[in-house]
Amino acid sequence: MSTYTSETGIQTISTQELHQKLQNKAGFQFWNVLTDQYFKGENILGSRHVPLDKVGAEVRQAGIPKNAEIVVYCAGPHCPQSRLAAEKLTKLGYDNVRAYEGGLEQWRQAGYGVEKA
Protein backbone atom coordinates (compact mmCIF):
# COMPACT_ATOMS: atom_id res chain seq x y z
CA MET A 1 0.00 0.00 0.00
CA SER A 2 1.37 3.41 -0.94
CA THR A 3 -0.19 5.39 1.89
CA TYR A 4 2.14 7.85 3.47
CA THR A 5 1.76 10.33 6.27
CA SER A 6 2.25 14.00 5.54
CA GLU A 7 4.16 16.29 7.86
CA THR A 8 0.84 17.22 9.48
CA GLY A 9 0.29 13.59 10.50
CA ILE A 10 -2.58 13.09 8.04
CA GLN A 11 -2.67 9.87 6.04
CA THR A 12 -2.81 10.46 2.29
CA ILE A 13 -3.73 8.43 -0.79
CA SER A 14 -2.24 8.67 -4.29
CA THR A 15 -4.15 9.14 -7.54
CA GLN A 16 -3.28 5.59 -8.65
CA GLU A 17 -4.32 3.98 -5.38
CA LEU A 18 -7.59 5.92 -5.32
CA HIS A 19 -8.36 4.97 -8.92
CA GLN A 20 -7.69 1.31 -8.05
CA LYS A 21 -10.02 1.46 -5.02
CA LEU A 22 -12.79 2.94 -7.17
CA GLN A 23 -12.24 0.31 -9.90
CA ASN A 24 -12.48 -2.44 -7.27
CA LYS A 25 -15.72 -0.91 -5.96
CA ALA A 26 -14.18 -0.87 -2.48
CA GLY A 27 -16.75 0.25 0.07
CA PHE A 28 -15.64 3.53 1.60
CA GLN A 29 -16.92 7.05 2.22
CA PHE A 30 -15.57 9.33 -0.53
CA TRP A 31 -16.23 13.04 -0.09
CA ASN A 32 -15.52 16.26 -1.93
CA VAL A 33 -15.10 18.60 1.05
CA LEU A 34 -14.94 21.93 -0.78
CA THR A 35 -17.01 24.52 1.04
CA ASP A 36 -19.97 25.93 -0.87
CA GLN A 37 -17.93 29.07 -1.63
CA TYR A 38 -15.45 27.02 -3.72
CA PHE A 39 -17.60 24.10 -4.89
CA LYS A 40 -18.14 24.33 -8.66
CA GLY A 41 -20.63 21.49 -8.98
CA GLU A 42 -18.08 18.80 -9.90
CA ASN A 43 -17.27 15.55 -8.12
CA ILE A 44 -14.92 12.71 -8.88
CA LEU A 45 -17.14 9.82 -10.01
CA GLY A 46 -18.17 7.78 -6.98
CA SER A 47 -17.92 10.63 -4.49
CA ARG A 48 -20.37 13.08 -3.02
CA HIS A 49 -20.19 16.65 -1.79
CA VAL A 50 -19.90 16.99 1.99
CA PRO A 51 -18.61 20.54 2.67
CA LEU A 52 -15.75 20.95 5.15
CA ASP A 53 -17.98 22.85 7.57
CA LYS A 54 -20.49 19.96 7.61
CA VAL A 55 -18.24 16.87 7.99
CA GLY A 56 -18.83 16.61 11.75
CA ALA A 57 -22.60 16.81 11.35
CA GLU A 58 -22.48 14.32 8.45
CA VAL A 59 -20.69 11.57 10.41
CA ARG A 60 -23.01 12.07 13.38
CA GLN A 61 -26.25 12.17 11.35
CA ALA A 62 -25.28 9.25 9.13
CA GLY A 63 -24.06 7.19 12.11
CA ILE A 64 -20.76 6.43 10.38
CA PRO A 65 -18.68 4.05 12.53
CA LYS A 66 -15.38 5.38 13.92
CA ASN A 67 -13.43 2.71 12.01
CA ALA A 68 -15.08 3.46 8.64
CA GLU A 69 -12.72 4.27 5.79
CA ILE A 70 -13.17 7.88 4.70
CA VAL A 71 -11.30 9.54 1.81
CA VAL A 72 -11.63 13.30 1.44
CA TYR A 73 -10.50 15.61 -1.36
CA CYS A 74 -10.82 19.18 -2.57
CA ALA A 75 -9.65 21.27 -5.55
CA GLY A 76 -6.02 20.21 -5.70
CA PRO A 77 -2.59 20.18 -4.09
CA HIS A 78 -2.72 23.87 -3.13
CA CYS A 79 -6.14 23.61 -1.48
CA PRO A 80 -6.02 23.01 2.31
CA GLN A 81 -9.63 21.83 2.71
CA SER A 82 -9.00 18.07 2.35
CA ARG A 83 -6.26 18.21 4.99
CA LEU A 84 -8.47 20.29 7.30
CA ALA A 85 -11.36 17.82 6.87
CA ALA A 86 -9.06 14.86 7.61
CA GLU A 87 -7.75 16.61 10.73
CA LYS A 88 -11.30 17.36 11.87
CA LEU A 89 -12.44 13.75 11.37
CA THR A 90 -9.35 12.44 13.17
CA LYS A 91 -10.09 14.73 16.14
CA LEU A 92 -13.63 13.32 16.18
CA GLY A 93 -12.13 9.83 16.67
CA TYR A 94 -12.14 8.51 13.11
CA ASP A 95 -8.95 6.51 12.64
CA ASN A 96 -9.18 5.39 9.01
CA VAL A 97 -9.21 8.77 7.25
CA ARG A 98 -7.07 9.70 4.26
CA ALA A 99 -6.75 12.89 2.25
CA TYR A 100 -6.45 12.75 -1.52
CA GLU A 101 -4.37 15.91 -1.76
CA GLY A 102 -4.19 15.80 -5.57
CA GLY A 103 -7.89 16.62 -5.65
CA LEU A 104 -9.88 17.45 -8.74
CA GLU A 105 -6.84 19.04 -10.42
CA GLN A 106 -4.59 15.96 -10.39
CA TRP A 107 -7.51 13.61 -11.01
CA ARG A 108 -8.25 15.44 -14.27
CA GLN A 109 -4.53 15.62 -15.18
CA ALA A 110 -4.38 11.83 -14.86
CA GLY A 111 -7.14 11.61 -17.47
CA TYR A 112 -9.95 10.49 -15.15
CA GLY A 113 -13.47 11.83 -15.29
CA VAL A 114 -15.55 14.04 -13.10
CA GLU A 115 -19.30 14.39 -12.98
CA LYS A 116 -21.63 17.30 -12.46
CA ALA A 117 -23.15 17.13 -9.00
Domain with 42 in it: what CATH number? Answer: 3.40.250.10
- Burial call 32-49: b when 16+ CB within 10 Å, e when fewer: bbbeeeebeebbbeebee
What percentage of the chain carries pLDDT values higher than 90? Answer: 88
pLDDT digits 0-9 by tens, 37-83: 999 999 999 999 999 999 999 999 999 999 999 999 999 999 999 99
pLDDT digits 0-9 by tens, 77-112: 999 999 999 999 999 999 999 999 999 999 999 999
Predicted confidence (pLDDT) at residue 8 exceeds the cutoff of 90:
no
pLDDT at 117: 79
Band of residue 2 on the pLDDT scale cut at 50, 70, 90: very low
Q: How many domains does the chain have?
A: 1
Predicted confidence (pLDDT) at residue 9 exceeds the cutoff of 90:
no
Instruction: Say whether pTM exceeds 0.75.
Output: yes
Structural domain span for residue 38: 4-116
DSSP strands (E only) in the chain = 4-5, 11-12, 29-32, 42-44, 48-49, 70-73, 97-100, 114-116
pLDDT at 7: 52
